[in-house]
Structure 1
Amino acid sequence: MDKANLGIVIIGRNEGERLLRCIKSATRETGIVVYVDSGSTDNSIELARQLGAEVVDLDLSVPFTAARARNAGFEFLNTQYPSLNYVQFIDGDCELVEGWVQRGLDFLNTSPQFAIVCGRRRERYPKASIYNQLCDLEWDTPVGETRFCGGDALMRVDALKAVSGFNGSLIAGEEPELCIRLRQAGWKIYRLDAEMTLHDAAMTRFNQWWRRTQRGGYAFAEGVFMHGGSQECHRVKESRSVWLWGCLIPVVAGSVAFFKGMMGWGVLLVYPLQVGRLALRSRCMPPNNWLQAFFLVLGKFPEFLGQLQFLWNRLIGSKGQLIEYK
């Protein structure tokens, strides 16, 4: 299908060399590329313009979110290029795989019931750290019709307009929330068995993984608040798991230990048992199944903190602030 009907929206902040690769991969596919900058202090804006991308520089007085940035890029495309039919969203720390865009366009052109098509996101340097490796395992999701997409996805302009784009107030989890509204409007989402993007998480420290996981817990809680009561039961199961493993079991163990002594801490043996259960059920090959299982269980604690952060913000009427890990 002709790429003249395609625009690409890139979002980022202080991505450096990653942004260079991202924009080059985008301009290879189309001449209609917009980069939305969220307060970079490096030369991202100048670099984007030098590489041929149009730039939207977000107002610093309004809190940054990925959803807000994507909406700004999408609105820019609608204003400057109103005849576009498709938009590819990509994060500035990613690079489009050559051939993906054409594959995605061909799918949407022959599958009018689908609003979004996505493919395989891979980690560029999975061996650089165990945290990068965990991201690479996270991206390995089933192909076929799916409920959600990620931040990199090819979308129909008309479908996105019909649901008023992303929810700009969300600090995380904006893609699943968008997908819910699209599916409620009768659209479908598909994941092709095709390489789509290379992602550079650049996570080398434990605290980066912790904050990223905490952000996920926050997104789960907000997802429950917005759509948990619908037929979707959005993120209800995930949030219950967070409260069970991240709060209830430690509280029970501490309470039993208080009254019964050291034997109470034996309750905590359920954690290694849960790691083993998840590892044996994993689609990953050893030893990745054990690595992923261990961090899935450990992640319940930062996810719980993220849930508490959301509840506190709701209690005091405060808007959530972006939880960054880079």
Structure 2
Amino acid sequence: MADHKAQASKDKMDAVSSTVRGRVGIVAIGRNEGNRLIQCLDSLAPLGLPIVYVDSASTDGSPAAAKARSADVLDLDLTIAFTAARARNEGFDRLLSIAPDIEYVQFVDGDCEIEDGWIAAAVDFLDQHSDAAVVCGRRKERYPEASFYNRICDQEWNTDIGQSNACGGDALMRVSALTAVGGYNSGIIAGEEPEMCSRMRSNGLKIWRIDQPMTIHDADMHHFRQWWLRAVRSGFGYAQVWWTTRQVGTALYGRELARAIFWAVVLPLLFLAGAVFFHPLLLLLLPGVYLLQIARMAVKQGAGDGFSWKIATLNIVGKFGESLGIFRFIARMVKGQQGGAIFYK
């Protein structure tokens, strides 16, 4: 069995070497990912590519596990706020210091496993599309059946194939394109990829999603609190990215901001005003409005599926979490505070 695995690993390395060896480097980022990080690095090691693992103060032995798998480990300075964008930037800088001649960089989150064949397919795509800066593929959940929240994530990853406005955390990028825009905005807590991609698109470059398995993700989300914090993080990211991109003329996430504020703030205030100035019973109609919206969304997705009703309900509840994140961003901005990442696991 051991000989079989060794041969499979060698075959995988040989298949990749002819097209990507010396041209691609890897930046993986993580914090307390445990076995997920090990699976991530084990999927990368057979490729024989330079790997930089950036750790955000893990306490589970992640740096040691990465070193044992021949990754160059970078421990982030604890005195500076953690963000995924900062981790990717510092990892990218380290990667270029040890592999200055690479053409492409593959970013991957530490809770993801790279699919066989992805790197070669992504490199081939960028080789054939000189105006493409970024290519990403299909991401799927490792355990979608483990929890309702995991299944939601699995559905979220099922995005359209073709030219896109942005990528996610896992993507292969052209080094020259990333360098030209100055990398990620290290201060952005969530939504750093769309913000960075918007700058690339302003340079006339394109972002693509191709129909190729890319990564297996493990959300490991089993509790409402995790999902709630993720919603808060999203709201903070919407506000921060909108505020950042509006200053350069292409505001992102305006629609998401408007929806969150309308359902969680404006609508309740309207009914409260109606109850105060017209009749108290008007306030009792508010739950009915939310129920109607939930029903509308559930029917659109397939009313006969109980999962559709659960998703629709969480969609409405999530607007309150997103609004909380929006107000957190406003509070930090007013106080002049930068702030770090909002972790949900």
* TM beyond 0.5: yes
| Equivalent position amino acid for 1:226 in 2 | T
Describe the shift of the 1:280–1:193 C-alpha distance in structure 2 as closer, same or farther (beyond 3 A): farther
The answer on whether the counterparts of 2:28 and 2:110 sit within 8 Å (CA) in structure 1 is yes
Find the partner of 1:126 among 123, 132, 144: 144
How much has 1:280 moved relative to structure 2?
3.4
| Equivalent position amino acid for 2:282 in 1 | M
Matched, 1:184 2:202: yes
The answer on whether the counterparts of 1:217 and 1:304 sit within 8 Å (CA) in structure 2 is yes
Matched, 1:27 2:45: yes
Q: Take 1:308 and 1:2, find their aligned partners in 2: how far apart are those partners?
A: 45
Residue number in structure 2 paired with 1:306:
325
Query: 1:176-218 deviations in whole A, cap 9, x for unaligned?
Result: 1100000001110000111111111111110110001100000
Matched, 1:319 2:338: yes
Q: Take 1:286 and 1:251, find their aligned partners in 2: how far apart are those partners?
A: 33
RMSD: 1.7
Query: 1:95-126 deviations in whole A, cap 9, x for unaligned?
Result: 11111111111111101110000011111111
Q: Take 1:240 and 1:43, find their aligned partners in 2: how far apart are those partners?
A: 42
Residue number in structure 1 paired with 2:124:
106
**Matched residues, percent identical?**
44
Residue number in structure 2 paired with 1:264:
283
Deviates more, 1:286-295 or 1:135-144: 286-295
Query: 1:101-154 deviations in whole A, cap 9, x for unaligned?
Result: 111111111011100000111111111111111111111111100001000000
How much has 1:254 moved relative to structure 2?
2.4
Q: Take 2:234 and 2:75, find their aligned partners in 1: how far apart are those partners?
A: 27
Residue number in structure 1 paired with 2:219:
201
The answer on whether the counterparts of 1:121 and 1:139 sit within 8 Å (CA) in structure 2 is yes
Residue number in structure 1 paired with 2:160:
142
| Equivalent position amino acid for 1:262 in 2 | L
The answer on whether the counterparts of 1:64 and 1:322 sit within 8 Å (CA) in structure 2 is yes
Residue number in structure 2 paired with 1:63:
81
Deviates more, 1:31-40 or 1:280-289: 280-289
How much has 1:237 moved relative to structure 2?
1.0
Question: How many residues of Structure 1 are paired with residues of Structure 2 in the alignment?
Answer: 326
| Equivalent position amino acid for 1:127 in 2 | E
The answer on whether the counterparts of 2:139 and 2:213 sit within 8 Å (CA) in structure 1 is yes
What is the TM-score with the length of structure 1 in the denominator? Answer: 0.96
Describe the shift of the 1:23–1:285 C-alpha distance in structure 2 as closer, same or farther (beyond 3 A): farther
> For 2:89, what is the secondary structure of its paired residue?
helix
Residue number in structure 2 paired with 1:223:
241
The answer on whether the counterparts of 2:84 and 2:341 sit within 8 Å (CA) in structure 1 is no
Residue number in structure 2 paired with 1:52:
70
Q: Take 1:54 and 1:159, find their aligned partners in 2: how far apart are those partners?
A: 24
The answer on whether the counterparts of 1:94 and 1:198 sit within 8 Å (CA) in structure 2 is yes
How much has 1:285 moved relative to structure 2?
8.9
> For 1:198, what is the secondary structure of its paired residue?
strand
Query: 1:233-265 deviations in whole A, cap 9, x for unaligned?
Result: 311111011110010111122232344122332
Q: Take 1:276 and 1:112, find their aligned partners in 2: how far apart are those partners?
A: 46
Q: Take 2:143 and 2:88, find their aligned partners in 1: how far apart are those partners?
A: 26
Matched, 1:153 2:171: yes
| Equivalent position amino acid for 2:230 in 1 | R
Describe the shift of the 1:29–1:288 C-alpha distance in structure 2 as closer, same or farther (beyond 3 A): farther
Residue number in structure 1 paired with 2:14:
none
> For 1:28, what is the secondary structure of its paired residue?
helix
Higher Cα radius of gyration = 2
Q: Which runs of 5+ in 2 are unaligned?
A: 1-18
